Amino acid sequence: MPSSVEVLICRCQGSVSGEFEIERLTKQLEKNKRIAKVHVLDHLCSQEGMKKLNQLVQVGEDSGLVVAACAAESLQNLLESQLPALNIKSQLCSIVPVREWVFWPSPRPRATEAAADMIKMAVARVRQVKDVGNWSAKGAVVNRLRCDKCKRCMEECPVDAYSLDEEGYPCANPELCQRCGICVGSCPLQVISLPDLRIEELSSEIRALKGDGSEEPTVLAFCCEPLTYPALQEKVALGMQLPQNMRIIKVPCMGAVNTALISDALSAGVDSVVLLGCEHGPCQQRRGDQLTKRRLENLKETLERMMFEVERVNYIGWPEASSDGMDVDRNICNGCLTCKEVCPYNAVIPEVKAVRGAKRIIAERDPLACRACGICTVACPSGACQTYALTEAQLLDSLDAACSDTVNPVPNEMVVLCNCQGKLSEVINFQSMKDNLDKQGFRHVIEVSQLCTPDAWRNLAKQGSHAALRAVVGACGKSFFGSRFEAFQKEIGLDLSYCAFADLLEKAILWPESPTLATDAATWEILTQSALLRENKKVNGVRDLELAGVEQYFSSYITTLRDLGPNPFKEG
Amino acid sequence: MPPKVLLNKCDGCKAEHEPLCEQVCPGNLMTLGSEGKAICRDLRDCWDCMSCTKVCPQGAIETRMPYQIGYHPAKLIPMMGTNRITWTCVDINGKVERFIVKNRNEEEDED
């Protein structure tokens, strides 16, 4: 366990401090005896920020670090490469995405308190971090001192990774183990750990949940790493409001949530526990959702006998994202059904259709089963199967753009470049990029400084009054930020299906020492993205509906919780 | 009064050779029945230690209150956490009391 824990808050050059009162937050955190020191800095993701980090944080071998910032994946990668230099083990460092979970789902009057609450939870978790032989392991690890050989883990493991060793203890084969954590959730004695998950850590984090001090009910939400965590994050980026006192914990699968943790949360005074998992999701083979529902049913029955409100525990199945599907050209399809043989999802349904007067077999797709993986596109001998998201013509166009440097942009095609308040122009040469694009025929190249604010987009709308039909946006943060932009784009009336996104931060991270390479790579991506736009067939529009559904669910759930009143175990 | 096994919840510890309640019972009273569900083989010998109730991973065992302590509506139900047990006690008048017992050492919560 770490001897001390330090906290680092990134102010994001003022764009976060507008919402949080950083001074008050720092003072509140400094009062906490568990926190050794609180640092504040600007733009952790820039080279300057990293240098500053090295100066600020000088801790001993066994110290923990909690970073409160944004959690774009790139930041995580960036930090991870810096940790050895700081003498901090990666298990002892935790990133709290305050921007995504507090600052964006605002407006909130108590954002500062909420951020403090989240940071304290992370500190409580980091304080419990301990190597029980799981750090170096590649799969689940059973603590043999406490295991009583009940073999439930063997029974519930979805990939049959467990076998018995010579002494009769179950032991996971690291080659087979998928680290889904279903055994962690199944173990009645809670003795199984994953390389980055130990029940004691989660339990300590849960018990630190105190809410932001208002009357609003506290909700603890478990999100699964492959599906609901990124999905919820995207919804929040698009403008969804979360319940005010909702705290989110990421687990590999819903099956990793041990019922003991739910019981811990309820007895610690948390008003409600929500498990946000899949509903017969793509990883159904894991059976995580079924197992969890069964466990929850059992827990609910016990709660009922205890005369405890069962509404406080809930499983929410996240609607699976609908894929764009495949386009089968009836005029070309010759009914050979090669696609049926290669389709891993059995989505091909041969149908007899009248084509140009003659009856022919056409390999239609079941829209629910098809995941638009594109395997049939490669196998199809006649070239009739194309994904809507990326057609072969689009691919060829972008290859063309990449190889020959000849792009013929449509008139009015706009390129918007964000230099992130000068952070990106430290590495990428924006002037040469603009010159280059101008040579290719792009007449509307606009450089802005903070595209992540709504104001920037409104200014852009004024500038681009020549009604740009297509636009390539170059900024930081991959698809995740892209979704944030979509919300703004809609606001100013840009058609989403004619916008492409190029990741500039990625280039700056890849080639920090070489501006020429980074600039070339960035220009190249903008050119290829522009080429991809030309043949776009992508269909949008499902998103709004789903978003409204989930948001509505949460708001009605909060009303139910308010009617129930506070958890009887709440202190005071 | 003996433990009552809720048949819809008990999964016989996935039909293991020895279910957890059998392993833990100090009087060696619990065993697997023919349908793969736990069963108490000698009701009169149970001394209400509640070990099986606490250890059951499915929460499938209920301890009935002895009549000397309380009649029908009275209940005593544990809910197991990672390092605490949350008890719910219902008396014969239906009055509910809850208390938490820590059964492992942990760092004290503070603000």
Q: Which residues of B are catalytic?
A: 47
> Which residues of chain B make contact with A263, given a CB cutoff of 8 A?
79-81, 86
Q: Average pLDDT across each block of 10 residues of chain B; the chain has 111 residues. List them in order.
A: 87 83 92 89 88 91 83 87 90 88 71 44
Backbone angles phi, psi at A567, to 5 degrees: -60, 130
- The chain B residue lying nearest A117, using CA atoms, is B111
What residue in A sits closest to B24 (Cα-Cα)?
A: A148
- Strands in A272-278's sheet, in edge-to-edge order, are A246-251, A219-224, A272-278, A313-318
Nearest to A100 by CA among A480, A551, A558, A492: A480
Nearest alpha-carbon partner for A456 in A421, A405, A412, A411:
A421
Test the B interface: residue of A298, A308, A310, A567 with most B CBs within 10 Å: A298
Residue A372 CA to residue A364 CA, distance in Å, equals: 13
Q: Map tokens 């069962």 to a residue.
A: A310
| DSSP 8-state secondary structure symbol assigned to residue B108 | P
Is A260 in Cβ contact with B80 (below 8 Å)?
yes
Q: Provide the pLDDT for residue B110.
A: 47
Identify the pLDDT of residue A513. Answer: 80
The verdict on B7 touching A (C-beta cutoff 8 Å) is no
Per-residue DSSP letters for A453-484?
SHHHHHHHHHHTTTT-S-EEEEESSSHHHHHH
**Do A71 and A97 touch, CB atoms closer than 8 A?**
yes
* Cα B56 to Cα A406: distance, rounded to the nearest angstrom: 70
What pLDDT does A543 receive? 46
- Buried/exposed code over A189-210 (b: 16+ C-beta within 10 A; e: otherwise): bbbbbbbebbbbbbbbbbbbbb
Six-digit token pair at A184?
Answer: 């962690």
| CA–CA distances in Å: residue A456 to residues A47, A167, A452, A453, A572 | 24, 65, 7, 6, 47
What single string gives the DSSP state of each residue in A176-216?
A: T-----HHHHH-TT--EEBTTB-HHHHHHHHHT---SSSSS
Distance of alpha carbon A36 from alpha carbon A129, whole angstroms: 16
pLDDT in tens, chain A (572 residues): 787 888 988 877 666 555 567 888 888 888 888 888 888 888 787 777 788 888 887 777 778 888 888 776 667 777 887 888 888 888 888 888 888 888 777 666 788 888 889 999 999 999 888 888 888 888 899 998 888 888 889 988 988 899 999 998 999 999 999 888 999 999 988 999 998 889 989 999 999 998 888 888 999 999 988 888 888 887 887 778 888 889 999 999 999 999 999 999 999 889 999 998 887 666 656 778 888 999 999 999 999 988 888 989 998 887 766 566 777 888 888 888 888 888 888 888 888 888 888 888 888 887 777 877 888 888 888 888 887 777 777 778 778 877 776 666 777 778 888 887 777 887 888 888 888 888 888 888 888 887 777 677 777 777 765 555 677 888 776 555 666 666 676 666 666 667 778 888 778 777 878 888 888 888 888 888 887 776 655 544 444 445 567 778 888 888 888 888 888 887 64
pLDDT recorded at residue A544: 47
Which residue of B86, B91, B106 is the best one to mutate when testing the A interface, meaning the one whose CB has the most A CBs within 10 A?
B86
Q: Which pLDDT score, from 0 to 100, does residue A102 have?
A: 83
- How many Cβ atoms from other residues are within 10 Å of residue A73's Cβ? 13
Stated as kind and residue range, the H or E segment containing A501 is strand A499-503
Q: Residue with structure tokens 């008050």?
A: A24
Fold of B1-60: Alpha-Beta Plaits (3.30.70)
Q: Would you call B91 an interface residue with chain A, using a CB distance cutoff of 8 Å?
A: no
Give, for A418, the enclosing helix (H) or strand (E).
strand A414-418
- Chain A residues in contact with B64 by the CB 8 A cut-off are none
Please, which residues 11-30 of chain B have a Cβ atom closer than 8 Å to chain A?
13-14, 16, 20, 23
Element (H, E) at A428: none
**Which residues does A517 contact at the CB level (< 8 Å), separation at least 6?**
A511
Cα–Cα distance, A47 to A185 (Å, whole number) = 41
Return d(Cα A428, Cα A430) in angstroms, integer. 6
Best B23, B63, B80, B91 residue to mutate vs chain A (most A CBs within 10 Å): B80
Token pair in block for residue B74: 């009275």
Q: What pLDDT score does A222 carry?
A: 94
Distance from CA of B73 to the nearest CA of A (A): 11
Residues 6+ apart with CB under 8 A from A481: A72, A237, A452, A475, A501
Closest partner CB to A150 (pick from B16, B59, B86): B16
Taken as a whole, chain A contains a residue count of 572
- The backbone torsions φ and ψ at residue A142, rounded to the nearest 5 degrees and listed phi first, read -100, 130
Are A259 and A266 in contact by the 8 Å Cβ rule? The answer is no
CA distance B33 to B19: 11
In this prediction, residue A540 carries a pLDDT of 43
Question: What confidence score (pLDDT) does residue A509 get?
Answer: 77
Q: What is the pLDDT of residue A542?
A: 43
* pLDDT at residue number B77: 92
Scanning the structure block, which residue is given the tokens 């009583």? A148
Nearest-CA distance from A143 to chain B in Å? Answer: 15
Rounded distance between C-alpha atoms, residue A429 and residue A519, angstroms: 6
A263 with B86: Cβ contact below 8 A: yes
Looking at chain B, which residues constitute the CATH 3.30.70.20 domain(s)? 1-60
Two tokens, residue B111: 């603000």
> What pLDDT does A526 receive?
85
